[in-house]
Structure 1
Amino acid sequence: MSKDKFTKPEFSLSLIHPRNWGVWLGFGFLAIVVNILPYRMLLSLGRTLGHLGMRYGKGRVHVATRNLELAFPDKAPEEIQHIVEENFKNTGMALIETGITWFWPTWRFKTLIIEKDLVALREKAAEGKGVLLCCVHALNLEITARAFGVLGVAGYGAFRPHNNPAYNFIQYWGRTHNGNKLIDRKDVKQMIRVLRSGERLFYLPDHDYGRNKSVFVPFFAIEDACTTTGTSILAYTSKCSIIPGSGFRNGDGKYEIIADKCIEADYPKKDEVAAAAYMNTFVEEVILRAPEQWMWLHKRYKTMADETAPKGIRYK
C-alpha cells in the first residue's frame, strides 16, 4: 500500500497526549451538548451559530452571493440574500448535525429520518448490483450518509485523513456507524472493486475539483463549469448502476432520504463531456430540492475553461 493510502485508525495512548487534549475536549463538549439538549433546541442553536457566523465571514458571504448570482441570474437580489442567510444558518446547523451523526445512538437517530423513496436503491441491493450513489455537498451530508446505513443500505465513502491523529480517529469512528465504511479518496482501484462486488459507493460530483480529470459543461446558468469526469470513469470501469441520492431537512426538521431513480440507461459513459453534462442535470435536480441547504460557500465556478484566465476571476 502506498504512503498516501490510509489504514483504519486504531486507538493508542499517544492519542491522549496533552497536545491532543483540545481535540478531545472539543468533541467531548459537542457530544454532551447534542445528547443533553432536545432536538428543537439543537436546531435553534445551530441556526443561531450560523447567523452569527455571517458577521465574521464576509468573504464567504460574498462567495455564496456570487455563486447564486451566477447560477440564477434571473433571481432578484432580495431572493438571493434570503437564500444566503438561510445557507449560513444551515452551515451553523451542520456542526450540530455532525455531532448528532457521530454521537447519537441509533434509536434516537432514527427519530429524525424519513425513508421517502429508496425503491431503486433497494432493488439494486437485492440484485447484488453495485451502485454509484451520487449525492451532493449538502450541509447535512453527515446526517445523510449515516441515514442510508440506518435504513439498511450502507455504503463506502471517500475519506481524507486528518493531520491530527486524535481528530482522525474520532472522525473515522463517527463516520463508520451502522455499517458504513471508508475508502481513501485517492484509491480509485479500491472504489472500482467495491462497485464490482455489488456494494454502494457514495460519490459527490458537484464541486469544482480543479482542471485535472475535469471537463467544462453547463451547471445551472454557467455554460462552462469545471466538472469532474470521475463519475464516468467509475461507472464505465465498474459497470455499476448510478442513482442520485439526497437527505435534505424538511420544514418539520426531519431528513427525507431519497434515492429513487437509476439513470445509467441513457448515461453516455464513453463520452466524458456528455457524461458530465448529463450528470449535472441530475445534480441540479437534487440541489433544487432544497437549494438553501447546499454548500454555496464553496467557489463552484473558480476554474476557468480559458487557461489564461485567472483562477477565481468570477469572484473578484
Structure 2
Amino acid sequence: MTQLPQFSRELLHPRYWLTWFGIALLYLVVLLPYPLLYRLGCGLGRLAMRIMKRRAFIARRNLELCFPAMPAAERDAMVKRNFESVGMGLIETGMAWFWPDWRIRKWFATSGDEHIKQAKRENKGVLLIGLHFLTLELGARIFGMLNPGIGVYRPNDNKLLDWLQTWGRMRSNKSMLDRKDLKGMIRALKNTDIIWYAPDHDYGPQSSVFAPFFAVQQAATTKGSYLLIRSAKPAVIPFVPRRLPHGKGYEMIVLPEVTNFPLEDEVATATRMNQVLEEAILMAPEQYMWLHRRFKTRPQGEPKLY
C-alpha cells in the first residue's frame, strides 16, 4: 500500500525538466477563473481531435460498436463533445491536484452520500465503482474530501509523474494500491475501507472473461469484480462525477448500493457489473473515456475490431 510519497532529489534530474515545465504550466493555468478554464479546456479538446486522429477513430469506433443504431451525425457530434471533455480532463487534473478544498467545493454539488453512510452503519467495506470518466481525477478528489478511501491505480513509468499523481490523489484520500494487488484490496474491504475501483477497461486476456457490454456481446471484462465481491462481501456502490454544461460546475452523484450480485461464476458477475457500468455511463456518455481500446482483446478466432 502506497503512503504519502517523499520527494527525492532524483526528480530534479535533467531528464525530468520537460515534465517539470509541463507541471508548472498546468499549475499556473488552473489559477485562472473556472469559466475561462472551461472555454480553454474545450478548445484544447477540439484541437486534440484534429491532432490525435487515431484516438478520434477509436472513440468513433467504440461508439459505433456500442450504439449501432446511433445516426452517424449524432455519433460525430458525440465524438466532438467527447474530445472537448478530453481537453477539460487535462484541466481538471490540475484542478484536482492543485486547487484548495474551498475552491473545489465552490464548483461541486453532491448527492447520494447517504448510501455511503448506510454501508458504514452496516460495518461494510465499500467497493466504489468509479469508472474511467474523463472527470475521474476531480471526482476522486471531491469524493475523498467527503469520504477518504483508498485509490486503485497503475504506477506511472515516469517517476516524477508517479510521485505527482500519488501526491495529488492522496490530498484527500488515505492511500493507494497497485491495481494488481487484489489481496490488498480484499484486506482493505474487510477492514471496512472504501476502495475506488474501475472495472470498465480491457485488462487483457489473462485477467478477463467475456461478457456483454452495450451492443458488444463478447467484451473482455475483468475477473477482479468476482474475486473482490465474493471474498470481501462489500457494499457495491457506483458514483458518477458529472460536468455540467456551459461551465456551470460539477455534480457528484453517489448511486444506491447494487445488491444481490450473482456470484455463481465470473461471467455472471462480469455481466451484472457491465450492466451497472452501462447505467452509469449513460448518465454522462460524452464524458466517458471512449478513446480507450475497450474491445482490443477478442475471443480466440474472432477478428480484431480496430
TM-score greater than 0.5 by the shorter chain: yes
Aligned-pair CA distance for 1:116 = 2.0
Q: State the distance in 2 between where 1:169 and 1:283 align.
A: 30
**Is 1:222 aligned to 2:213, yes or no?**
no
Measured against aligned partners, the alpha-carbon deviations of 1:13-36 in whole angstroms (never above 9, x if no partner) come to 22222222222221111111102x
Q: Percent same amino acid at aligned positions?
A: 44
Q: State the distance in 2 between where 1:146 and 1:8 align.
A: 15
Aligned-pair CA distance for 1:299 = 1.3
Secondary structure of residue in 2 paired with 1:157: strand
Tell me the C-alpha RMSD between the 2 structures. 1.5
**Is 1:301 aligned to 2:295, yes or no?**
yes
Q: State the distance in 1 between where 2:3 and 2:254 align.
A: 30
**Is 1:105 aligned to 2:93, yes or no?**
no
**Is 1:127 aligned to 2:122, yes or no?**
yes
- Which one-letter code corresponds to 1:196 in the other structure? K
Secondary structure of residue in 2 paired with 1:68: helix
- Which one-letter code corresponds to 1:257 in the other structure? M
1:179 equivalent among 173, 176, 179: 173
* Equivalent residues of 1:68, 1:296 under 8 A apart: yes
Secondary structure of residue in 1 paired with 2:177: strand
* Equivalent residues of 1:86, 1:292 under 8 A apart: yes
1:77 equivalent among 64, 72, 81: 72
Pairing 1:205-220 to 2, within 5 Å after superposition: 205-220=199-214
**Is 1:246 aligned to 2:243, yes or no?**
no
**Is 1:149 aligned to 2:144, yes or no?**
yes
Who is 1:285 aligned against? Answer: 279
Who is 1:236 aligned against? Answer: 230
Who is 1:16 aligned against? Answer: 12
Q: State the distance in 1 between where 2:225 and 2:169 align.
A: 22
Secondary structure of residue in 2 paired with 1:21: helix
Aligned-pair CA distance for 1:243 = 0.9
Q: State the distance in 1 between where 2:116 and 2:3 align.
A: 29
**Is 1:170 aligned to 2:161, yes or no?**
no
Q: State the distance in 2 between where 1:45 and 1:288 align.
A: 26
Measured against aligned partners, the alpha-carbon deviations of 1:124-145 in whole angstroms (never above 9, x if no partner) come to 1233310101121100100111
Aligned-pair CA distance for 1:216 = 1.2
- Which one-letter code corresponds to 2:97 in the other structure? W
Aligned-pair CA distance for 1:7 = 6.4
Aligned-pair CA distance for 1:180 = 4.0
* Equivalent residues of 2:107, 2:249 under 8 A apart: yes
Q: State the distance in 1 between where 2:94 and 2:214 align.
A: 32
TM-score by length of 1: 0.92
Aligned-pair CA distance for 1:184 = 1.6
Point out the more displaced range, 129-138 or 173-182: 173-182
Aligned residues: 305
2:27 equivalent among 31, 36, 39: 31
Who is 1:314 aligned against? Answer: 305
Secondary structure of residue in 1 paired with 2:292: coil
Who is 1:196 aligned against? Answer: 190
Q: State the distance in 2 between where 1:13 and 1:58 align.
A: 38
* Equivalent residues of 2:112, 2:256 under 8 A apart: no
Secondary structure of residue in 1 paired with 2:205: coil
* Equivalent residues of 1:215, 1:276 under 8 A apart: yes
Q: State the distance in 2 between where 1:163 and 1:41 align.
A: 32
Secondary structure of residue in 2 paired with 1:269: coil
Aligned-pair CA distance for 1:279 = 0.9
Structure 1 gap ranges (5+): none
- 1:272–1:187: structure 2 CA closer, same or farther, 3 Å change rule? same
